Chains A and B, each alone.
Chain A
Amino acid sequence: MKRFRFHDSPVLNVQMPLWRSRLVLVLMLLGFLAIVAKALYLQGLSNDFLQQQGERRYEKTLVLPATRGKIFDRTGQVVLASSVPARAIWTVPEDAQKATPEQLGELARLLEMPLEDIRARLANLSRNFVYIKRQVSVDTAQKIAKLKIPGIHQQAEVRRFYPEGGMTAHIVGFTNIEDRGIEGVELAFDHLLSGEPGTRRVIRDRLGRVVEDVQAAIPPVHGKDLYLSIDAGVQYDLFSALESARVKNKAAAAAGVVIDVKTGEILALANLPTYDPNESANRQGKALRNRAMVDTFEPGSIMKPFTVALALDLGRVRPDTKFDTGNGKYRYQGAVISDVSRNGVVDVGGILRRSSNIGMTMISERLTSQEMWTKFTELGFGRAPNANFPGVAEGRLRPWERWRPIERATMAYGYGLSASLLQVAHAYTAFARDGDMVSLTLVRRQGKPTSVQVFSPQIAATVRAMLDEAAGRHGTELAQVQAYRVAGKSGTARKLVNGKYSTKQYRSSFVGFAPVSDPRIVVAISIDEPHGGVYYGGRVAAPVFSEVVASSLRRLGVQPDAPLEPVLAAGPDDGVPR
């Protein structure tokens, strides 16, 4: 075989057509052109988009969460509601398939959930975000994180705690899982308690650490702390007194209010049955009802002092005006009005003390419907009290034009209209003060309260003396408190069942104030459907009133205004007023 040197190779001698090299040149030029065009497009025309994409890789907007404010009682010492961090455990079901059964078993044990429940959540393969459990405590969450289960993630949340539980549940209310208030004070002051989350834009380094702020951060506005007018001590006394009375009288429900007469602050407000706001499963049904504020009822005898004060104010009766109530039965406008006992001839104070319906009917004959309606409206009946609370009831007071003649009499002793316990207690502040009703509040009061003059100071003092007597030796003895003079009125109202007044279901109540010489508190107690044999307000509600007044005055450090001799043990007698 003949050998050639490279340059003598005959292959190289072949002349190629010139167009082929040109073609290569043109193709290469076109290639460069394409690169230049692409570079121009990326650098010049679409760089905004690309820069954004780049920033998204290393810049990040962090949300700075705002903490919800705490709720305190009036002293600021007792926390009624506070938020603590919690974790939500969530999963990407597809990733979680790799988890071993042991890991899942451990997870179920830590979360206190049945294993099948967790498996059911993990079976949902089509979704890529499934909560397993929310509001898990941080301790538990840390243990779960240590298990390193694939596909199980955590997310920061907050959890609201109510240390006092059911005792203040109706006032404080609760929040939903998104930390928004949905009941009680949590709802009423939601805008104040919940803050505004802030944001900051930061650059993160390769390790995920924040290394620089891109722009000035917007700090979060934390929720304000709220100081209620509630005194945790008085609240506890009221609550435990109601609780034992409810058990003793086998009652369906009970409610009570304590109001500071001087400032109009609601010192305590309790309802039974109650619920534990820390357990979201319990937050339903009748137990949620804030009976003292939301439920209205026919007040019955506890309305009598208002009619009496009106008649005195207009000069239609004098304190010593005598009424012959006869033998306890009285025909009036085609109906028979009856008293519990024969009262004979009594004066105005006697009518209140004996709680005579007939006497009240006779007083109402000297009044017009319009006068009564006007005064009752002034006293806040038929209007929602301005107590900055959601769902306060207005009660019902029909316009006087539509009253039937008999109704003027029944209204005089508290039937035919409806009111909430809070409204009645509020109206009683007129007697406890100098005839003016103080405005109510659930929040610790700063500055002076406003008040509305309803009765003249003299009339208020006269009725106060009558109520003092009504709660005295010859009236509702069980309401008495050792070393303090108390004034008040018991009530026993039949409940309307299917449009008829029931003879089995009653609501026993007692409203009063103490100490009489310089009233500090108004206390209203209502026991619903007592089934313990007795149902008269003077027997069922008055002892609770006495207990609550005694402990509240002790807590408030009010000086006794009565001699310190021990009160005689009050036994049941026939003259207990209804």
Chain B
Amino acid sequence: MSRLCLVFACVLMLSAFSLVTARYQSRLLFVSSERMAAKTQELDVEWRRLQLERAELARNARVDQIARQELKMVVPTPAQTVYMKNGQIVSGPAAVMQGGEQ
């Protein structure tokens, strides 16, 4: 009887320790999951910032200015454009049209 008591006492002690450890572990894990969530949010914010930066760089006004002034580009006229529909040339400069018909 007294031996059984001792065994139970030991088991009880063990379970008490494991409870404390488990609880501690769960708190540690929770803290790290919190940190991950914060990181997610941080990355989302960063993504927003980058998206804005890209928008700033790709602004039409800026692209237009660089294309015209720095790269000396011009807008193509319809006479220089070949229009295609389903792989077929439907309209374009005379030379292309003649070439297409041959």
Taking A85-B45, A164-B59, A559-B91 as contacts, is the C-beta distance between A210 and B75 under 8 angstroms? no
Inter-chain contact B34/A210, CB cutoff 8 Å = yes
- A560 and B83 form a contact (CB under 8 A): yes
Q: Nearest Cβ in chain A — how far from B72, in angstroms?
A: 18
Give chain A residues whose Cβ lies under 8 Å from the Cβ of B76.
554
Contact between chains at B64 and A82 (CB < 8 Å): no
Binary contact track A484-499/B, C-beta < 8 Å → 1, others 0: 1000000000000000
**Pairwise interchain contact A482-B56, C-beta atoms closer than 8 A:** no
B52 x A84 contact (CB < 8 A): yes
Given contacts A78-B55, A163-B55, contact A554 B94 (CB under 8 A): no
Q: Answer whether residue B77 sits at the interface, using C-beta atoms and an 8 A cutoff.
A: yes
Cβ A167 vs Cβ B61 within 8 A: yes
- Are A554 and B60 in contact (CB-based, < 8 A)? no
Closest to B45 in A: A85
Number of interface residues of B (CB under 8 A): 28
Give the docked Cα–Cα distance between A341 and B36 (Å).
Answer: 77
Q: Hey, which chain A residues are within 8 Å of B91, CB to CB?
A: 559-560, 564
Task: Tell me the complex Cα distance, A79–B60, Å.
Answer: 12
Verify if B3 is at the interface (C-beta below 8 Å from A): no
Per the bound structure, the CA–CA distance linking A104 and B60 in Å amounts to 41
Checking A70, A164, A236, A484 against B64 with a beta-carbon cut-off of 8 angstroms, the contacting residue is A236
A57 within 8 A of B: no
Interface size (A, Cβ < 8 Å)? 32
B93 an interface residue at 8 Å Cβ cutoff?
yes
The 8 A CB mask of A159-194 against B (1 = contact, 0 = none) is 001011001000000000000000000000000000
What's the Cα separation between A564 and B83 when bound, in Å? 12
Q: Looking at the complex, which one of B30, B34, B48, B78 makes contact with A482 (CB distance below 8 Å)?
A: B78
Instruction: Output the residue of A79, A205, A235 with the most chain B CB within 10 A.
Output: A79
Q: Whole-angstrom distance from the CB of B78 to the nearest CB of chain A?
A: 3
Q: A85-B45, A236-B60 are in contact. Are A79 and B55 (CB under 8 A)?
A: yes
A83, B48: Cβ atoms under 8 Å? yes
Asked if B64 and A240 make an inter-chain contact with CB atoms under 8 angstroms apart, the answer reads yes
> Which residues of B lie under 8 Å from residue A551 when comparing CB positions?
75
Closest to B33 in A: A210
Assembled-state Cα–Cα distance A83/B58 (Å): 18
Contacts of A205 in B (CB 8 A): 27
A164-B60, A559-B85 known, 20 other contacts, Cβ within 8 Å: A70-B51, A78-B58, A79-B52, A82-B52, A84-B48, A84-B49, A85-B45, A163-B59, A210-B30, A233-B60, A235-B60, A236-B64, A240-B64, A482-B78, A551-B75, A554-B75, A559-B90, A560-B91, A564-B78, A564-B94
Shortest 7 CB-CB distances between A and B: which pairs?
A483-B78, A236-B60, A163-B55, A79-B55, A559-B83, A211-B27, A564-B79
